[in-house]
Amino acid sequence: MFAATALPPPPRTVRLSPDDNVVVAVDAILPGAAVEGVTASARVPKGHKIATAAIPEGGPIRKFGQVIGFASRGIAPGEWVHEHNVGLGEAKGDFARDYRFAEEARETAMVPEAERATFQGYRRADGRVGTRNYIGVLTSVNCSASVARFIAEEVRRSGLLDDYPAIDGIIPLVHGTGCGYDIQGEGSEILKRTQWGYAANPNMGGVIMVGLGCEGFQIDRWKRAYGIVESDTFRSFTIQETGGTRRSVEAGVAAIREMLPAVARVRRETVPASALMLALQCGGSDGYSGITANPALGAAVDRLVAEGGTAILSETPEIYGAEHLLTRRAVDRATGEALVEMIRWWEGYTARNGGEMNNNPSPGNKAGGLTTILEKSLGAAAKGGTTRLNGVFRYAEPVTARGFVYMDTPGFDPVSATGQVAGGANILCFTTGRGSAYGCKPTPSIKLATNSEIYRRMEEDMDIDCGDVLDGVSIRQKGDEIFARILSVASGERSKSEALGYGDAEFVPWQIGAVM
């Protein structure tokens, strides 16, 4: 008698909606394997899609119960479905987006006041709460970037901060613009707004602004526009007025030395979670992003909103094709139409620059299983949870609404997050399936891995493994884990990116318009 040989278990797949004609491979599928009632005709990598029904040429491909593209040729059941047989196609038939403004907006059931979560934060004079207490060295123009870095380096080298443990550090926030542009144009307004937003972010305890002197971005005009005055926590000067590089570095270090006692005066205290403003980002996405980390982060967002807090969804090119799901949740028609107006602006913007909205997914996204921008966007939008959309804001505009809101930003993560931090975000969650290397100052970034493989491979960079959702952990459980980590990091626990020292180089204001 021969012992029976155990057959390997069939490869796991995920069907996200009964209406879908594709499923997602959790395990790699080999030719001949039986899944979902079909036989695989080719190898399907992990995170990629396999057809479970015949799809005619031009027919819609459905995932999440939504159209993610159209068959560029006939696709048989069991075929690997990816860019070789899928195109974006035309907006037609059942793909045409029906915005149906505010039809699904719903009130959030708030957590009773006595049961609300808390964290340990820095309460500022204006009532907002910081999760960190940094000193920032801002620059009006690229010409003063080196001096800003020299100031920060000298402060670190000298040990000035050693006697002030309540101060998290000093950040040189430099950029590549500030001159050679239309000083009356949109790009100039965005830069001024971004700089003010960083100076006013509750995670900043003190700021100095360094300029050259002759640039388009004039510090004195900026100060007048925003009502900024010199104080024990804000100083400004220019290299030309101060007398050159060496004297400017000395002046910057002296200004910081003088402001240290005021910056260090604050202490962490117990504050409600409603004081949190959470920035939502995803980068280096894969086919699992919309199944694990993004919806789990969305569950944490719903929890935060129920606590009275705020969450900012952004990256307009990466919600393209999913915006109709957000307009349904808008608090009113005007809010929904503001979002659609941003989509139209981006369509025109990309056309003027010889591009298209489907320049995404990136090559790395495609290798991870994402085929079209529609597919990526539907998964990305899941970060925003399910609650009502209470506001739509321009890039780097102060976020004044509570609850779930939207900010118009590019999809490029450092530029997008810079706008959110300028808007007031004091904590950030970043989902990734490919292993993005990113951190943020002054706002700590919590990295969520969409799959366990990338978490194990980059464990020193990743804060939470969301891949266990594929093994049975519920979205609700994972959302609770994320929310608990948000509170811990907001209270002072360092995220992985903070421990590695990320954040000085990730300040990237959005540059719009011609460089002259």
Report the CATH number that the domain containing residue 175 is assigned in CATH.
Answer: 3.40.1400
3-class DSSP state for residue 301? helix
Same domain, 143 and 285: no
Domain annotation covers residue 116: no
Same domain, 392 and 465: yes
Distance CA 503, CA 498 (A): 7
What are the E-state strand segments in 283-375? 310-313
pLDDT confidence of residue 354? 85
- Establish how many alpha carbons lie within 13 A of residue 141's alpha carbon, considering only the half-sphere containing its beta carbon: 21
Q: Exposure of 467 by Cβ count < 10 A (0-12 exposed, 13-18 middle, 19+ buried)?
A: buried
Q: Give mean pLDDT, residues 233-246.
A: 98
Of 263, 293, 313, which residue sits at a domain end?
263
Beta bridge partners of 119: 271
Distance CA 97, CA 69 (A): 13
Mean pLDDT of the chain: 94
Q: ω before 165 within 30° of 0 (cis)?
A: no
pLDDT confidence of residue 516? 86
81-93 pLDDT per residue, tens? 999 999 886 544 4
Give the chain's count of helices (H) and strands (E): 14, 23
Residue 398 contacts residue 424 (beta carbons within 8 Å): yes
Distance CA 49, CA 68 (A): 12
pLDDT confidence of residue 6? 61
pLDDT above 90: residue 461: yes
244-266 pLDDT per residue, tens? 999 999 999 999 999 999 999 99
Domain annotation covers residue 389: yes
Q: Give mean pLDDT, residues 372-397.
A: 95
pLDDT above 90: residue 97: no
Q: Give mean pLDDT, residues 174-193.
A: 94
Domain annotation covers residue 437: yes
The H or E element containing residue 378 is helix 373-380
pLDDT above 70: residue 424: yes
Same domain, 255 and 141: yes
Of 231, 263, 295, which residue sits at a domain end?
263
Q: Give mean pLDDT, residues 189-210.
A: 98
322-361 pLDDT per residue, tens? 999 999 999 999 999 999 999 999 999 988 888 877 666 7
pLDDT confidence of residue 513? 83
Provide the CA 377 distance to its chain's centre, in angstroms: 13
Q: Give mean pLDDT, residues 414-430.
A: 98
| Number of folded domains that form the chain | 3
Same domain, 45 and 76: yes
Domain annotation covers residue 488: yes
Its pTM stands at: 0.95
The percent of residues in the chain predicted with pLDDT above 70, rounded, is: 96
Same domain, 47 and 79: yes
Residue 277 contacts residue 427 (beta carbons within 8 Å): yes
Same domain, 68 and 138: no
Domain range for 143: 134-263
Domain annotation covers residue 127: no
Domain annotation covers residue 8: no
Same domain, 159 and 250: yes
Domain annotation covers residue 149: yes
Same domain, 255 and 289: no
Same domain, 230 and 375: no
Which of 225-229, 293-297, 315-319, 372-376 bottoms out in mean pLDDT, i.e. has the lowest? Answer: 372-376
Q: Are strands 60-63 and 80-81 parallel, antiparallel or unpaired?
A: unpaired
Nearest partner of 317 among 273, 291, 283, judged by Cα: 283
Of 263, 287, 319, which residue sits at a domain end?
263
483-504 pLDDT per residue, tens? 999 999 999 999 999 999 999 9
pLDDT above 80: residue 7: no
Same domain, 371 and 471: yes
Same domain, 380 and 247: no
Q: Give mean pLDDT, residues 396-411.
A: 98
- Which residue type sits at 268? R
pLDDT confidence of residue 515? 87
Same domain, 258 and 286: no
Alpha carbon separation from 464 to 460, 469, 485 (Å, rounded): 11, 12, 9
Domain annotation covers residue 121: no
91 vs 451, which has greater pLDDT?
451
